Structure 1
Amino acid sequence: MATKPSSEIIRDGLWTNNPALVQVLGLCPLLAVTSTVVNAIGLGLATLMVLMGSNLAVSLIRNFVSESVRLPAFVMIIASFVTCAELLMQAFTYQLYQILGIFIPLIVTNCAILGRADAFASRNAPGPALLDGTMMGIGFLAVLIVLGGMRELIGQGSLFVDMNLLLGPAAADWVIRPFENYPDMLFMVLPPGAFVGLGLLIALKNGIDSHLEERRKASEPAPVASGSKRVRVTGHVS
């Protein structure tokens, strides 16, 4: 299998084939924990770590695992990295780990991670596989942060609440409250608000893609009609 150029891998992960906006994978944790930015960052970083580690490990063993045990081996690798992420969060961000709860272990079943292991890492060298995992993880993290920020701002009228749970006491004063006496909008805090927010983000991406495609077509030269023929006129001068 021919390896994609690095620029295409980066573009796929961040935009063209974004796991959340295009593949629409990993929706269970994405919709459940993005009520605040700090929750989104915590889950996104854990997913990024697992994607990078599993893609690299799967690529390294791709020539030594038979087809019959390929998927179970991938799941075991992913589960190992999820356990590492879980233990790290328990050690350094225990309160955030308690808030995220079951959604950290559920990373094992995230179709975006298993899908990249099977579709890309198992067919490419370690370097491109690691880059693919990194870009897919960053793309997923970016969507989590934007969705979490949207829901926190519209639902609670604030941003970066409880950032100290992730970054320590120094981040306790990072809270931004642009509106005074803001009436909380419970709809955006609850899961239905997550569906609406994600739908808006997908619509925005599709709109941007359509606009860029129209501009690209407009900048292309008009094709010459294939049926047109040039008529050569000859004559004699007497």
Structure 2
Amino acid sequence: MTLEVITADALAPLHHGFFSRRGGASSGVFAGLNCGPGSSDQAEIVALNRSRAAEALGVAPEQLVTLHQIHSAEAVALDTPPATRPRADGMATATPGLALGVLTADCMPVLFADPEAGVIGAAHAGWRGARAGVLEATLARMAELGAEAGRVTAVIGPAISQSAYEVGPEVMATFLADAPENARFFAPGHGDRSQFDLPGYGLARLREAGVGRAEWIGQCTYADPARFYSFRRATHAGEADYGRLLSAIRL
């Protein structure tokens, strides 16, 4: 099956893509394009999937860089593929031909670009990382390479939507302690639970950081099992593991 690569007009003409699970070589619960080396999928199959994605991006497999993601506010600037995956959740580069990729399965994949400066970025942002400041940290690494926030376009790819993202009262309390106006990102759920708008929160953080343009492509990972992996859906189904979606950008 041909790979499905979702693109955003806002990031054109840069090579980029939010890859769905379609078109990969994995099977079972990973069926499709599982690009996560941290999963229990066969390593050689994951490598094959990543190679197919790299080809779609027009780079060699070794030029597709991903991180050892830790739900942090850590971001790094890169000029060459690192020998080992950095423990971080955001990265930036000004090196043509280097593809920056993040892996998600409900969290937000965010791709950044300042074409005028020739600087790109990518971030993995769940609620912890977004709250801690990974989006701002990625913008800071981009600024070190010559980007200006007002020229940056940031696009959030497939992520869990508010209707599918139930959280406990302790999560809402954490956000309200940060700022009372964060209440706008929560809707009533069952009992003491709330529905959290992760993409909405991400967009607000990006806009507060001064990016020139920020948008979400509007695709929910939980709601579309044929196209996307979802940690929460896999958990609800009692599955032992889940695939990881790749989102990547290059100059």
For Structure 1 versus Structure 2, the TM-score category normalised by the shorter chain is: under 0.3
Q: Whose helix fraction is larger, Structure 1's or Structure 2's?
A: 1
- TM-score between both structures, scaled by the size of structure 2: 0.26
TM-score w.r.t. structure 1 length?
0.27
By relative contact order (CA 8 Å, sep 6+), the higher-ranking structure is: 1
The structure richer in strand per residue is: 2
Bigger Rg over Cα:
1
